[in-house]
Amino acid sequence: MTIRPTLIAALILASSQTFAFGDSSYEFMNDTTHVGLGATMSFDELPPAAAAKTVAPLRAVLNIPHVKAPAYNKQQAASYNKLINQVAREHKLDPQLLHAIVSVESGYNPGAASPKGAQGLMQLMPDTAARFGVSDRADPLQSLRGGARYLRFLQGYFKQDMTLVIAAYNAGEGAVGKFRNTIPPYRETQEYVAKVLASYEQRAGQPLIATAAAKPQRVHATLPPLQPL
């Protein structure tokens, strides 16, 4: 029997189309039109992998100076450990953050006083102490509670952006707002933020904030959610 050329062409064409087997269909693709697929797969022809998202060290992104954690009397610090943990639990704060603030502000000396008028473990100014219900700034418990309330307020105000929280604890939320919610360009404040971050990392064994996007809008830390006081 002679098979006509038109019939042969029809059979060849059908073999390159989709074949159905039961409920499933399978498409046979021509290697010549799909480079890199099939038996002649070449990894040289595959598209390049997507580039990883660029990140940079926090200090480099925010121009925070690199400093060593300030020294402190470890025995004296240990004597306030229980009290700091208690106040941290009361105000839903990271106790290592409180420790970092205290170590930079007063070195765990409840009688510390600054030339500008700050006093106590948390170095509260008179107006800040009155604002957060502290009558005796030299009293360790009152000082810690007043400072913790201020930190809680700042966390809510700056939506957990911890670099701004720390900067505002030093310079005030007004100064941070004046510079469009960035760390104010005051050398004292920039070094203060750097010292608190270094102190936190030394105590906690990990950075408070590790990395940030190359052009961040805000930098956040993972902390417990705010709870009513």
C-beta separation of 110 from 120 below 8 A: yes
pLDDT band at 104 (very low <50, low <70, confident <90, very high): very high
Catalytic residues: 105
117: left (phi over 0), alpha (psi -120 to 50) or beta: left
| Burial class of residue 199 (count of CB atoms within 10 Å of its CB; 0-12, 13-18, 19+) | buried
- Please give the model's pTM, rounded to 2 decimal places: 0.68
| The pLDDT value given to residue 44 | 45
Q: What is the number of alpha carbons within 13 Å of residue 13 lying toward its C-beta?
A: 6
Task: Write down how long the chain is.
Answer: 229
pLDDT band at 4 (very low <50, low <70, confident <90, very high): low
Q: What are the beta bridge partners of residue 144?
A: none
Least confident of 22-26, 74-78, 121-125, 201-205: 22-26
